[in-house]
Amino acid sequence: MSEQPISFGIELRRRRTAAGWSLTRLAMAVHYSKGHLSKVETGLKRPTSELARLCDAALCADGVLAALVPPTEATEAAPLPESRPDEEVWIMQWDADGSVRFAAMDRRHALALGASCLLAVAAGEEPAAAASPADAGLLQASRAMFDQYRRLGQSAEPGALVPPLVAQAQALRDLATRSAGGTRRGLLVLASRYAEFAGWMAQESGNDRAASWLTRRAVDLAQAGGDRHLATYALARQALISFYAGDAATTIALSGRAADTKDAPPRIRGLAAQQEAQGHALAGDHQACMRRLETARALLSADAGDPTLPVIGSSNLTDPVSMATGWCLYDLGRPQQAADILDAETALLPGHSVRNQVRYGMRRALSHAAAGHIEHACSVAGALLGPVSQVDSATVRADVRRLARLLTRHGSNAAVREITPQLTSVLRPTA
- Residue 171 and residue 405 in contact, taking contact as beta carbons nearer than 8 Å: no
pLDDT computed for residue 317 by the predictor: 86
pLDDT grade for 349, boundaries at 50, 70 and 90? very high
Distance CA 235, CA 256 (A): 9
pLDDT computed for residue 50 by the predictor: 87
pLDDT, averaged across the chain:
84
Region 143-166: mean pLDDT is: 90
Quick check: 301 pLDDT over 60? yes
pLDDT computed for residue 62 by the predictor: 87
Output 218 or 80, whichever has higher pLDDT.
218
- The angle, 0 to 180 degrees and rounded to 10, between the axes of the packed helices 34-41 and 23-30 is 110
pLDDT grade for 354, boundaries at 50, 70 and 90? very high
Lowest mean pLDDT among 106-115, 243-252, 303-312, 348-357: 106-115
Lowest mean pLDDT among 167-176, 307-316, 353-362: 307-316
pLDDT computed for residue 95 by the predictor: 52
Quick check: 412 pLDDT over 50? yes
Nearest to 93 by CA among 118, 74, 65, 70: 118
For 384, phi and psi rounded to 5 degrees? -100, -10
First to last CA, the chain: 38
pLDDT computed for residue 133 by the predictor: 54
Quick check: 218 pLDDT over 80? yes
Lowest mean pLDDT among 121-125, 324-328, 412-416: 121-125
Domain ranges of the chain: 3-67, 128-301, 337-427
Q: Which CATH code fits 3-67?
A: 1.10.260.40
Local structure of residue 349 (DSSP, 8 states): S
- Residue 40 and residue 15 in contact, taking contact as beta carbons nearer than 8 Å: no
pLDDT computed for residue 430 by the predictor: 57
β strands within 55-148, DSSP E: 89-94, 100-105
Nearest to 142 by CA among 173, 121, 181, 102: 173
Distance CA 181, CA 27 (A): 66
Distance CA 44, CA 42 (A): 6
Lowest mean pLDDT among 62-71, 268-277, 379-388: 62-71
Distance CA 32, CA 365 (A): 17
Distance CA 406, CA 404 (A): 5
Q: Where are the alpha helices (DSSP H) in 350-413?
A: 354-370, 374-382, 385-391, 394-407
Quick check: 210 pLDDT over 60? yes
Distance CA 24, CA 39 (A): 13
Quick check: 202 pLDDT over 80? yes
Per DSSP, what are the bridge partners of residue 105? 89
- The angle, 0 to 180 degrees and rounded to 10, between the axes of the packed helices 248-259 and 266-282 is 160
Q: Tell me what percent of the residues of the chain surpass a pLDDT of 70.
A: 83
Give the long-range contacts of residues 260-263, CB within 8 A, separation 24 or more.
261/232, 263/229
Distance CA 183, CA 202 (A): 28
pLDDT grade for 232, boundaries at 50, 70 and 90? very high
Quick check: 117 pLDDT over 60? no
pLDDT computed for residue 99 by the predictor: 52
Handedness of CA 251, 257, 259, 265 (dihedral sign): negative
Q: Tell me what percent of the residues of the chain surpass a pLDDT of 90.
A: 56
pLDDT computed for residue 368 by the predictor: 97
Distance CA 334, CA 328 (A): 9
Q: Is the pTM of this model over 0.85?
A: no
Ramachandran region, residue 179 (left: φ > 0; alpha: ψ -120 to 50; beta: rest): beta
Quick check: 46 pLDDT over 70? yes
- Residue 87 and residue 107 in contact, taking contact as beta carbons nearer than 8 Å: yes
Q: Which CATH code fits 128-301?
A: 1.25.40.10
Instruction: Give the pLDDT confidence of 57-108 residue by residue, as tens digits.
Output: 999 998 889 888 877 554 444 444 444 434 444 555 555 454 555 555 454 5
How does 144-166 read in b/e, with b if 16+ C-beta sit within 10 Å? eebeebbeebbebbbbebbeebb
**Side-chain-facing half-sphere of 327: CA atoms under 13 Å:** 25
pLDDT computed for residue 63 by the predictor: 87
Other residues' Cβ atoms within 10 Å of the Cβ of residue 266? 15
- 408: buried, middle or exposed (CB in 10 Å: 19+, 13-18, 0-12)? exposed
Alpha carbon separation from 3 to 35, 44, 50, 54 (Å, rounded): 21, 11, 18, 21
Distance CA 37, CA 26 (A): 8
100-105 and 89-94 strand pairing = antiparallel
Ramachandran region, residue 284 (left: φ > 0; alpha: ψ -120 to 50; beta: rest): left
Lowest mean pLDDT among 46-60, 125-139, 173-187, 197-211: 125-139
